Chains A and B, each alone.
Chain A
Amino acid sequence: MSQDLLYALAIFALAILVGFEVISKVPATLHTPLMSGANSIHGIVMVGAMLIAATADSPLSYVLAFVAMVFGAANVVGGYVVTDRMLQMFKRRPTAPKADEVGGAPAGSPATTPPSGS
Chain B
Amino acid sequence: MSQEWIYSIVFAAWLLGAAAFVIGLHRMNSPATARDGNRLSALGMTIAVLTTLAYLITREGGLSVAALAIILVGFIIGGGAGLYMARTVQMTAMPQLVSLFNAVGGGAAALVAIDDYLRVVGTVEETISTALFVVLGVVIGCVTFSGSLVASGKLQGLISGKPIIVPGGRIVTGGLALVALIGFVALVLGAGGALTLETTVKTVVLFVIIAAALTFGVTMVLPIGGADMPVVISLLNSFTGTAAAMAGFVISNPVLIIAGALVGASGGILTKLMADAMNRSITNIIAGGFGGGEGLVAAAGPGGDVREIGVDDAAIQLAYASSVIVVPGYGLAVAQAQHAVRELAELLESRGVDVKYAIHPVAGRMPGHMNVLLAEANVPYPQLREMDDINPEFERADVALVVGANDVTNPAARRPGTPVSGMPILDVDHAKSVIVIKRSMATGYAGIDNELYVNPKTGMLFADAKQGLADLVAAVKAL
| Residues of the A chain whose Cβ atoms lie less than 8 Å from the Cβ of B240 | 39, 42
Type the 1/0 row for A63-103, where 1 means its CB is closer than 8 Å to any CB of B.
Answer: 01111111111111111111111111111111000100101
- Tell me whether A69 and B74 are in contact (CB under 8 A): yes
| Residues of the A chain whose Cβ atoms lie less than 8 Å from the Cβ of B63 | 54
- Tell me whether A37 and B82 are in contact (CB under 8 A): no
Q: Report B340 CB to chain A, min CB distance, Å.
A: 11
Interface size on A, residues (CB 8 A): 96
**Interface magnitude class on chain B:** 35 or more
Type the 1/0 row for B98-123, where 1 means its CB is closer than 8 Å to any CB of A.
Answer: 10011011011101101110110000
> Bound state CA distance, A56 and B56, in angstroms?
13
Identify the stretch in B174-182, B319-327, B359-367, B441-449 within 8 Å (CB) of chain A at 4 or more residues.
Answer: B359-367
| Residues of the B chain whose Cβ atoms lie less than 8 Å from the Cβ of A74 | 78-79, 81-82, 85, 101, 104
- Tell me whether A43 and B35 are in contact (CB under 8 A): no
* Chain A stretch 26-53: residues in CB contact (< 8 A) with chain B: 26-53
Q: Report B45 CB to chain A, min CB distance, Å.
A: 5
- Tell me whether B386 and A28 are in contact (CB under 8 A): yes
> Bound state CA distance, A109 and B88, in angstroms?
10
| Residues of the A chain whose Cβ atoms lie less than 8 Å from the Cβ of B67 | 53-54, 56, 65
Type the 1/0 row for B51-63, where 1 means its CB is closer than 8 Å to any CB of A.
Answer: 0110010000001
- Tell me whether A81 and B87 are in contact (CB under 8 A): yes
- Tell me whether B381 and A41 are in contact (CB under 8 A): no
* B269 close to chain A: CB less than 8 A: yes
| Contact A90:B86 (CB < 8 A) given known A33-B372, A49-B112, A80-B42 | no
Chain A residue with minimal CB distance to B239? A42
Identify the stretch in B23-31, B151-159, B407-415 within 8 Å (CB) of chain A at 4 or more residues.
Answer: B23-31
Identify the stretch in B162-170, B193-201, B250-258 within 8 Å (CB) of chain A at 4 or more residues.
Answer: B250-258
* A30 partner, pick from B31, B118, B343, B346, beta carbons under 8 A: B31
* B108 partner, pick from A68, A89, A91, beta carbons under 8 A: A68
| Contact A89:B375 (CB < 8 A) given known A40-B42, A45-B247 | yes
Q: Report B38 CB to chain A, min CB distance, Å.
A: 5
Chain A residue with minimal CB distance to B360? A28
- Tell me whether B104 and A114 are in contact (CB under 8 A): no
| Residues of the A chain whose Cβ atoms lie less than 8 Å from the Cβ of B98 | 35-36, 39, 79, 82
Chain B residue with minimal CB distance to A13? B261
SS class, residues of chain A in contact with chain B: helix
* B380 close to chain A: CB less than 8 A: yes
| Contact A25:B29 (CB < 8 A) given known A44-B256, A94-B378 | yes
| Contact A35:B34 (CB < 8 A) given known A56-B67, A72-B78, A94-B378 | no
- Tell me whether B369 and A32 are in contact (CB under 8 A): yes
Q: Which of B28, B35, B94, B247 has the most CB of A within 10 A?
A: B28
Q: Report B141 CB to chain A, min CB distance, Å.
A: 9
- Tell me whether B264 and A19 are in contact (CB under 8 A): yes
> Bound state CA distance, A103 and B337, in angstroms?
11
* B281 close to chain A: CB less than 8 A: no
| Residues of the B chain whose Cβ atoms lie less than 8 Å from the Cβ of A1 | 129
* Chain B stretch 366-415: residues in CB contact (< 8 A) with chain A: 366-369, 371-372, 375-376, 378, 380-382, 384, 386
* B107 partner, pick from A22, A47, A71, A117, beta carbons under 8 A: A71
Type the 1/0 row for B442-477, where 1 means its CB is closer than 8 Å to any CB of A.
Answer: 000000000000000000000000000000000000
- Tell me whether B25 and A37 are in contact (CB under 8 A): yes
A-B contact pairs, 9 of them (CB 8 A): A12-B245, A29-B368, A56-B70, A60-B118, A65-B70, A70-B104, A85-B86, A114-B83, A117-B79
A11-B254, A75-B108, A114-B42 known; 14 new pairs, CB 8 Å cut-off, are A22-B26, A29-B31, A29-B368, A30-B34, A32-B94, A33-B372, A38-B263, A51-B251, A77-B82, A78-B81, A81-B87, A84-B38, A105-B376, A115-B50
Residues of A within 8 A of B (CB): 1-2, 4-5, 8, 11-13, 15-20, 22-56, 60-62, 64-94, 98, 101, 103-105, 109, 112-118
Residues of B within 8 A of A (CB): 17-18, 21-22, 24-26, 28-31, 34-35, 37-39, 41-43, 45-46, 48-50, 52-53, 56, 63-64, 66-67, 70-83, 85-87, 89-91, 94-95, 97-98, 101-102, 104-105, 107-109, 111-112, 114-116, 118-119, 129, 233-234, 237, 240-241, 243-245, 247-249, 251-270, 273-274, 339, 343, 346, 359, 361, 364, 366-369, 371-372, 375-376, 378, 380-382, 384, 386
